[in-house]
Amino acid sequence: MGRIVLDKVSKSFGTTEVIPPLDLTIEEGEFAVFVGPSGCGKSTLLRLIAGLEDVSGGVVKINGEDATAVPPAKRGLAMVFQSYALYPHMSVRKNIAFPLRMAKLDKSEIKQRVEDAASVLNLTDYLDRRPGQLSGGQRQRVAIGRAIVREPEAFLFDEPLSNLDAALRVGMRLEISELHKRLATTMIYVTHDQVEAMTMADKIVVLQAGVIEQVGSPLELYRSPRNKFVAGFIGSPKMNLLEGSEAARYNAHTIGIRPEHLTVSTDGNGWQGVVGVSEHLGSDTFLHVQCDDFEPTLTVRADGELDLDYGARVSITPDLNHLHLFDHDGQRIG
């Protein structure tokens, strides 16, 4: 259960085409993450799958059946919204029970399932409260509880963690990942945060301006980004991208090198430059180095204990095995 296929799906609002026809398959049990900058159409794509927006063209298939004209209520998908979208007039218990009530299950079964979901999500003590009396993290759990009780074909998450503070976000990220391992249900997760994408996904779908730039596992995308956009978007801190004479030496328009594939030393060959700001994370230090020969500042990952003063002269050597080459159109050539 839970295989979702998009076949030439497109979406226009009026005369503006936000998603040109695209094909995408999300396999059963997969954790797929749609990631991209804001306005790239990732939420729209999710809403097309949910049925909350009508497609302008193409076919949405759920488990091999054409669901394009099926209303959201009948698609068997559950969704967790960014704003949680809990029913403010209902208690937590009733919120979680709502999908089951709509499915006309009998009372004892509903009670059982709600209590099971609540215990999984540590909500048992809050069942009789209203959403207004809960913290952000608890509300998020209720929203997830409401999604899991009905055992849907797939879960759709629309930036569910972006309203939470940083610490809570990391915790919830783990909880959702664990939930996926336990339920083994298809999940589609939309985020603009590439860290969330990298840490949670089986499959990342990178979108830009409604177009799929690349689909692949987190490490595939990290190791061999198909183009300059994916190279710059996946990975934190960003990949260093250089154009001009440095790139020309490798017969490329642009070369890319990740911060961890640069070695810094105080004496040696390679690119000569001056250390600007150093960011000490403890485990690592990120140095921002201004080289003499080219404009863009290089980000270099160095040992956490490395202590270089602002303005110190260094030399930087790239690991040529991890060089990414891109042509004039930004496509990968090696």
Partner 1 sequence: MARSVTTQRKVFNTLLAWLIGLLIFFPILWTILTSFKTEAQAINDPPLFLFFDWTLENYAVVQDRSNYTRYLWNSVIIAIGSTILGVLIAIPAAWSMAFIPSRRTKDILLWMLSTKMLPAVGVLYPIYLLFIQLKLLDSRLGLTIILMLINLPIIVWMLYTYFREIPGEILEAARMDGAGLKDEILHVLTPMAIPGIASTVLLNVILAWNEAFWTLNLTAAKAAPLTAFIASYSSPEGLFYAKLSAASTMAIAPILILGWFSQKQLVRGLTFGAVK
Sites of contact with partner 1 (CB under 8 A): 50-52, 71-74, 77-79, 81-83, 85-89, 98-99, 102-103, 146, 150, 156
The DSSP-derived string for 118-153 is HHHTT-GGGTTS-GGGS-HHHHHHHHHHHHHTT--S
Closest separation in Å from C-beta 57 to partner 1: 21
List, in order, residues 6 or more apart from 186 with CB less than 8 Å away.
1, 2, 3, 4, 26, 27, 28, 29, 30, 31, 32, 153, 154, 155
| Smallest distance from partner 1 to CB 176, Å | 17
CB of 117 to partner 1, least distance (A): 13
Name which of 98 and 222 has its Cβ closer to partner 1: 98
Q: Of the two residues 109 and 293, which places its CB atom closer to partner 1 in the complex?
A: 109
Q: How far is the CB of 330 from partner 1 (least distance, A)?
A: 36
Tell me which residue of 269, 309, 305, 303 sits closest to 289, measured CA to CA. 309
Q: Are 200 and 159 in contact (CB under 8 A)?
A: no
In the numeric block, the tokens 């396999």 are attached to 27
Least distance between partner 1 and beta carbon 320 (Å)? 50
In the complex, the smallest distance separating the C-beta of residue 93 from partner 1, rounded to whole angstroms, is 15
- Cβ atoms 318, 261 nearer than 8 A: yes
Nearest-angstrom CA–CA distance, 298 and 326: 18
Cα-to-chain-centroid distance, residue 330: 22
Beta carbon nearer to partner 1, 157 or 229: 157
Q: Which CB, 74 or 249, lies closer to partner 1?
A: 74
Nearer to partner 1, 12 or 199 (CB): 12
Closer to partner 1 by CB, 143 or 252: give it. Answer: 143
